[in-house]
A and B are shown apart, each in its own frame.
Chain A
Amino acid sequence: MIISAMSVISPFGLGTGAFADGVLAREPRLSTVEDDVPFAVQGAVDGFDVGAILGETKNLANLGRAAGLAVGAVALLLREHDLAEFEPAERALVLGGGLISSDRAMGIMRESLTNPYPYQVNTKAFPSSVMNYSAAQCAIRFGLKGSNSTVTTGRTTGLSVLNYARRLHRGGRSPVVLAGAVEDLNPRRSWLAWHGLGARDPLGEGCCVFLTESEESALAHGRRPVAEVLALEFGYAPRPEAAAGALATRVRRALHRAGVAEGDVWAAAVSGSSSAELAAVEAVLGAGARVLEPAGLIGDTDGASAAFQLSTAIACGAGGDVAVVTSVDGDGHVGCGVFRIFDR
């Protein structure tokens, strides 16, 4: 399975180019937080306006930020590649995130608790209080009638959506799958992350979407491979102190499955949330391994973090470089991917 196109909306702005420029310049894009949250700065997509991307304002009132970012990112991708060569029923979407529905869900419950009657809630906001809303909105707006799946595996979500896409391809279920991950900023997420996940580093938001298909399909439709997905491996570390070992095992297994020697790895893109990742990278690739860490530039994007790590590797790599993406979640998910990065 290859990635033949991608789209990124990040604190660096709209598009893959803006993201690549920001990552290569290595200048953090964190802005002062106005809301009452326990973080002084965050990586926000300032001035984000999905209506401006779509060129219309219809049915945007209840869209919400997470779905807005997802719809915007898919719109940018489809602007370049409209997928008209595939039947609508062949166009699949797999989208993931972390806490992308909690804000709306808690908002509805707040209305139930504070209005005169407990049923006085905004039913128009209800669809966006369930987690598959972003994926459904993308399907509705762009006619994606194939399988429409929402996935969440915490920080490893960006790798899980690619694994899901790979299974759809392997099973002959869909010739083209858009696989992406999104996370948005809002005060409820900030406080849930602060209290529940022990988050102390700045948070961020954004969305990355990857167009996945076979190499033959890409070439037949005039697309060049951006990256090849060589291997994906997942596991569970029941205790934080087990995470480095569990991840190192997965990285070794993934490299073996990919047929790549440790010494041939160009860089590792880490999520930046866990010292276990650096320990695993050092254990497998050696102390001198090149490490990319986008969270330092755009904030911790939680459910979108692994997708941003891959986008970073694609932005920085070239010419067949092999990159490893690692992810460890505080809840115990560990995952890694091995990717070959081609010239853009």
Chain B
Amino acid sequence: MGTVPERRVVVTGFGVISAIGSGREGFLAGLRAGRDGAGPVTAFDTEGFAHGLSCEVPDFADDERSEYGRATRMAAAAAGMAVRDAGLDLERLRGASGVIAIGTTDGDARDLDDLAAVEVAKGLADLDPLLAGRARFSRMPVAVADELGLEDVELITLPDVCAAGTYAIGYGLDAIRSGDADYALCGGADAFCRRTFATFYRMGALSRDVCRPFDVDRTGVVFGEGAAVLVLEPLDTALARGAVIHAEVLDHNLNCDAFHPTRPVGESVAACMSGALVNARVAPGEVDLVFAHGTGTPTNDSMESAALAEVFGSGAVPPVSAIKSMIGHTMGAASAHSCVAALLAMEHGFLPPTANHRTPDPECPVDCVPNAAREGEPRTVLVNALGFGGSNAAVVLRRYRDEVVR
């Protein structure tokens, strides 16, 4: 929609860390199996809470003496995987200009929780300098640059809460289109923490058992953690270096409800998705699969179902996958996780399921691909996301047919 001729931008690599598996094979296997990564909380003592599960990443060790916190280290690890997946030569990457954009909700929240515990026990004068030094969210892309030895990079953290992954991908897209960047490493990361768990418990928004998006008995979110990072490149340079192209990023869209801190507005969510389709020059009927925000709260899923009906027409909504039922609500990483799931779905010809689904809710008349992955050939995928504060973000991805790998 801009006046400058647009460079086409494609995804040539991705890295992913999640409760159901990390890396291409692990995450793919988890999605195909419809495996729920929820289990008892291990990150902190849950005494005093009557219920609550989490989707923690079991094989990502804490490193208390690292200069980076858990979420930041997950972002760096996912970025490293993404660059390897893209087959990018690090020396060449170091000679190019890039953007590293990481979305998050809480940054290194677990460190802030620990800092608050020190404040309670001893006072602010006794804060651990190492933990205090990890507190600023702006360190997240710094860790990525460190990991990969990149210096000619614009580093940016986008703390745009639960839509942040899409904000980061959209930022990378626009940076490449504008000609400012030769590549972008973009996605999101968050770590599971007590403060958010306690707050959602108190608000009655934490699931009493597992996460059941679009189910009549859904009771709320299960928090997860992890990171997902995509490598974006201009199509021409990706072709020139013979890269495997996972998908084209057609376009994205952002808007704001400007209404309430925690109550989303369906019309605005629908307008954001429709705007993304318009920007992408895609008709609603061309969309084969939607990745929903799908948190499993009573409010979100009925609101989102109505918004989808508004965008696609009642009865014409394509299959809708809610992967938070498997990986938990990974907050700032969530929509980046959905984008990675979308790439895998397009490459491997399946629709990832919505796990834990028992009884459809008449308020949520969508085909949520219940419980079992379905064979299919999704070509065009819409990823929807929204966050507290009324921030909405949607992105449209399309399979890049000629370069598909199986």
B178 touches A170 (CB 8 A): yes
Interface members, chain B 83-127 (any A CB < 8 Å): 105-107, 109, 112-113, 115-117, 119-120, 124-125, 127
A130 to B109, CA, bound (A): 10
Interface pairs (14), CB distance under 8 Å: A105-B109, A126-B203, A130-B106, A136-B256, A137-B261, A139-B258, A140-B259, A150-B160, A154-B138, A172-B1, A173-B174, A195-B129, A195-B132, A195-B133
A236 to B142, CA, bound (A): 8
A36 to B119, CA, bound (A): 13
B contact residues around A197 at 8 Å (CB): 132-133, 136
Residues of B at the A interface (CB closer than 8 Å) are 1-4, 47-49, 105-107, 109, 112-113, 115-117, 119-120, 124-125, 127-129, 131-139, 142, 145-146, 149-161, 167, 171, 174-175, 177-178, 180, 194-195, 198-199, 201-203, 254-262, 268, 271, 387-391
Q: Does A123 contact B (CB under 8 A)?
A: yes
A107 to B259, CA, bound (A): 25
Q: Which of B109, B180, B389 has the most CB of A within 10 A?
A: B389
A6 to B115, CA, bound (A): 37
B194 to chain A, nearest CB (A): 6
A102 to B134, CA, bound (A): 12
Main secondary structure of the interface of B (DSSP, over half): mixed
A157 to B387, CA, bound (A): 22
B contact residues around A137 at 8 Å (CB): 261
Interface string of A99-129 (1 = CB under 8 A from B): 1011001111110111001111101001101
Q: Does A132 contact B (CB under 8 A)?
A: yes
A195 to B2, CA, bound (A): 46
Which listed residue, B47, B128, B136, B167, touches A98 by the CB 8 Å rule? B136
Residues of A at the B interface (CB closer than 8 Å) are 36-38, 88-89, 93, 98-99, 101-102, 105-110, 112-114, 117-121, 123, 126-127, 129-133, 135-137, 139-140, 142-154, 157, 160, 163-164, 167-168, 170-173, 187-188, 191-192, 194-197, 234-238, 242, 246, 329, 331-333
A171 to B251, CA, bound (A): 11
B48 touches A119 (CB 8 A): yes
B contact residues around A118 at 8 Å (CB): 47-49, 194, 198
A332 to B258, CA, bound (A): 35
A149 touches B138 (CB 8 A): no
B contact residues around A135 at 8 Å (CB): 389
Which listed residue, B124, B133, B149, touches A188 by the CB 8 Å rule? B124
Q: In the complex where A112-B194, A119-B198 touch, is A152 in contact with B132 (Cβ < 8 A)?
A: no
A307 to chain B, nearest CB (A): 15
B contact residues around A133 at 8 Å (CB): 261, 389
A121 touches B260 (CB 8 A): no
Which listed residue, A88, A107, A149, A154, touches B167 by the CB 8 Å rule? A149
B156 touches A148 (CB 8 A): no
A contact residues around B48 at 8 Å (CB): 117-119
Which listed residue, B159, B167, B199, touches A152 by the CB 8 Å rule? B159
B contact residues around A329 at 8 Å (CB): 138
A148 to B177, CA, bound (A): 20
A160 to B137, CA, bound (A): 14
A136 touches B151 (CB 8 A): no
Q: Which of B134, B136, B388 has the most CB of A within 10 A?
A: B136
Determine the residue in chain B with the shortest Cβ distance to A163: B154
B135 touches A99 (CB 8 A): yes
Q: In the complex where A117-B48, A127-B261 touch, is A152 in contact with B138 (Cβ < 8 A)?
A: yes
Which listed residue, B125, B127, B202, B271, touches A119 by the CB 8 Å rule? B202
Determine the residue in chain B with the shortest Cβ distance to A170: B178
Q: Which of A112, A114, A235 has the most CB of B within 10 A?
A: A112
